[in-house]
Chain A
Amino acid sequence: GENVEQHPSTLSVQEGDSAVIKCTYSDSASNYFPWYKQELGKRPQLIIDIRSNVGEKKDQRIAVTLNKTAKHFSLHITETQPEDSAVYFCAAPTNTGNQFYFGTGTSLTVIP
């Protein structure tokens, strides 16, 4: 089965700096990697995802990179703002594709 590890568990950055969160996975058949953002007391929401046929995807200040050989993918947030403060989760699907394994989450704090 899939095993997803996420690092770091907490991350503090100054406003305007970049933040990077990394995840590794074990199942080489995994082909889709979403990132969810969960603000305090709210539901997780999908912010970006990447499929295994591309190495990088960008959406404004957010980007995700994928290294299939090394089996890791990363979330990059540039020019961080206080509203980026939240818990971020990575995920990878099982080989049947009908469920996810989630990472343990990264609590990001952007200091004004």
Chain B
Amino acid sequence: DGGITQSPKYLFRKEGQNVTLSCEQNLNHDAMYWYRQDPGQGLRLIYYSQIVNDFQKGDIAEGYSVSREKKESFPLTVTSAQKNPTAFYLCASSSAGRVYEQYFGPGTRLTVT
């Protein structure tokens, strides 16, 4: 089912807690991305990574952190500093040679109360 997985599908946390969202791909893609999706606002880029051990901030990186220790994995941590963390989070990947074509994971819906 696309070779890119996210877990869990639904996640519930209390306000003030950090939470880490998983993203794994077996497509041998170099680049990986994290997006946040809110109703009426499309997909907004949080962080992206073109290569292992390197990543860049997207438009809405505040309150989030990432790591890229392995090519296959790009976990996203939603910290307590993120003011409105409740959202649908999508991970994507693309190969270096076809950087424009992105493959998306199934998403994680995070609810913080």
- Do A and B come from the same complex? yes
Known: A43-B106, A44-B90. A102 touches B33 (CB 8 A): no
CB of B87 within 8 Å of the partner chain: no
Q: Are A104 and B45 in contact (CB under 8 A)?
A: no
List of B residues within 8 angstroms of A101 by Cβ: 45
Q: Are B45 and A99 in contact (CB under 8 A)?
A: yes
Query: Would A98 and B48 count as touching, CB distance under 8 A?
Result: yes
A71–B102 Cα distance when bound, in Å, is 22
Q: List residues of chain A with CB within 8 A of the CB of B99.
A: 97-98
Interface string of B53-91 (1 = CB under 8 A from A): 000001000000000000000000000000000000010
Out of B2, B42, B48, B90, which one reaches A103, CB within 8 Å? B42
Instruction: Evaluate contact between B100 and A49: CB separation under 8 angstroms.
Output: yes
| New contact pairs (19) apart from A34-B101, A43-B104, CB-CB < 8 Å | A32-B100, A43-B2, A43-B106, A43-B107, A44-B104, A46-B103, A49-B100, A97-B99, A98-B48, A99-B33, A100-B45, A100-B100, A100-B102, A101-B45, A102-B35, A102-B43, A102-B44, A104-B40, A105-B40
Known: A44-B90, A99-B48. A89 touches B104 (CB 8 A): no
Q: Which residues of A contact B103 (CB under 8 A)?
A: 46
Contacts of A103 in B (CB 8 A): 42
Q: Which residues of B contact A (CB under 8 A)?
A: 2, 31, 33, 35, 40-45, 48, 50, 58, 90, 99-107
By the criterion CB–CB under 8 Å, are A98 and B31 in contact?
A: yes
Q: Is the CB of A89 within 8 A of B100?
A: no
Report yes or no: B42 in contact with A104, Cβ–Cβ below 8 A. Answer: yes
Cβ-based interface call for A42 (8 A): yes
Given A43-B105, A43-B107, A99 and B100 contact (CB-CB distance below 8 Å): no
Give the docked Cα–Cα distance between A46 and B93 (Å): 13
Q: Can you pick out 24 interface pairs between chain A and chain B where the beta carbons lie within 8 Å of each other?
A: A9-B40, A34-B101, A34-B102, A36-B104, A43-B2, A43-B105, A43-B107, A44-B43, A44-B104, A45-B104, A97-B100, A98-B31, A98-B50, A99-B33, A99-B45, A100-B43, A100-B45, A100-B102, A101-B45, A102-B35, A102-B43, A102-B44, A104-B40, A105-B42
